[in-house]
Chains A and B, each alone.
Chain A
Amino acid sequence: MSEYGYIPEAPEQSFGNNKGIFTPKDIYDLTRADKYTNYGQLELIETQTVSNVATVDFTTLGTYNVHFMTFNDIHSATNNVLTNVRFYENEVLETGAVYQYAYQYGNVAGSFGESRSTSNTRIYTLMNLGNATNETANGYTYFYNLTDSSKYSFLTFHSMTINATPNGNMNFGSAVLPQASTVTGIQVLMQSGNITSGTISLYGIKEYS
């Protein structure tokens, strides 16, 4: 009996190195074993389109080491607040003053500065956002090590928003939850009040090792 068209044995199959003739079942089995060359290493986990909620939880993280999240058209009920992130560790939300962050900000009127904290109850990611029409927050965040119980959980982020002035303002920075734990969920929330609307998408960057 041939294997992948070879008699008697096919070469060893691995990602980026597939030889032979493959039936649909072969492709399915090899894909499940991460041995079939499928391009597409940015894998969408979940998109949430929200409407008037206090928090948005992403509780399916998979086994990725690096996650990527995009924020599109976020509107806030409360004026002049930042979009925040907190983590669930083993299904328990961490609300202690344990998060650290640092970011550079600047606005279109020419005011630039730094913001930082060594002990906050949440991570400030997207910049200040007003609550009037067209005042939205947009940006992206990378998350690192969330699913690794032996490591701290890190972030980098970059955003562009309209604040309450209204002026466009940007920030880029980084953060950490300095606790070696398994993060089982990401919570997005405003500094106060509800998220009135917006779309948030979470992706995993696949690895094969």
Chain B
Amino acid sequence: MTITVSSAVASVTLTGIDSDDVYMLAVSNCIPVTNGQNGELRVTKSGTAQSDANYDFAFKGLRTDTTFSNLASVGSSKWTYPIGWSTSNTSAEAGVSGNAIIYLYNFNSSSEYSFITVETATKYSGGTLAPTGGALHKVASASDGVHFQWSSGNIDVGAVFTLYRVV
């Protein structure tokens, strides 16, 4: 499934996970309309984004400008940093974007948590940032997709989200 943003939108939802396979989410050219935003990724269940406080993550923040960061959280209402981290908009710097390869595990399981591994490359005012690591949603029920939004403002035109089943 591919969603290409043709006019600025508040969020993108990709569903259709209906098997026990590993899935891969590939994101390119994802830009916030509002400058300096973090990406927020959530699982969907029956097509609805979940905003409970059960999102945990651990990312090594590779970055071009200074010592790498450690990013970790327990009990958040979303996964912060996949796809974007303080990402600039094109008014601030032409050419910027957030990009990611995210693998999804156990989403279809009705008895397990939903896991992801994350590799991101995103541009911000001071350099390029790359949250790299993993996350989980600690609710033991099936998830059928993912929902993405920026921490504030819309997703700009041109973002491409594709959900693959690894087969």
Contact = CB atoms under 8 A, between A and B. Distances in A.
* Contact, chains A and B (beta carbon distance below 8 A): yes
A170 B117 contact: yes
A138 B72 contact: no
A52 interface: no
A76 interface: no
Interface residues of B, number: 32
Q: Is the interface of A mostly helix, strand, loop or mixed?
A: strand
A91 to B, nearest CB: 29
B60 A106 contact: yes
Q: Is the interface of B mostly helix, strand, loop or mixed?
A: strand
A79 to B, nearest CB: 18
Q: How large is the interface on A (under 10, 10 to 19, 20 to 34, 35 or more residues)?
A: 20 to 34
B106 A108 contact: no
Most chain B beta-carbon contacts within 10 A, residue among A104, A109, A158, A170: A170
A172 B133 contact: yes
Most chain B beta-carbon contacts within 10 A, residue among A134, A168, A172: A168
Contacts of B138: 134
Given A134-B113, A140-B117, A159-B134, A108 B103 contact: no
Interface of A: 42, 44, 70, 72-73, 104, 106-110, 112, 134, 136, 138-140, 158-162, 167-170, 172, 199, 201, 203
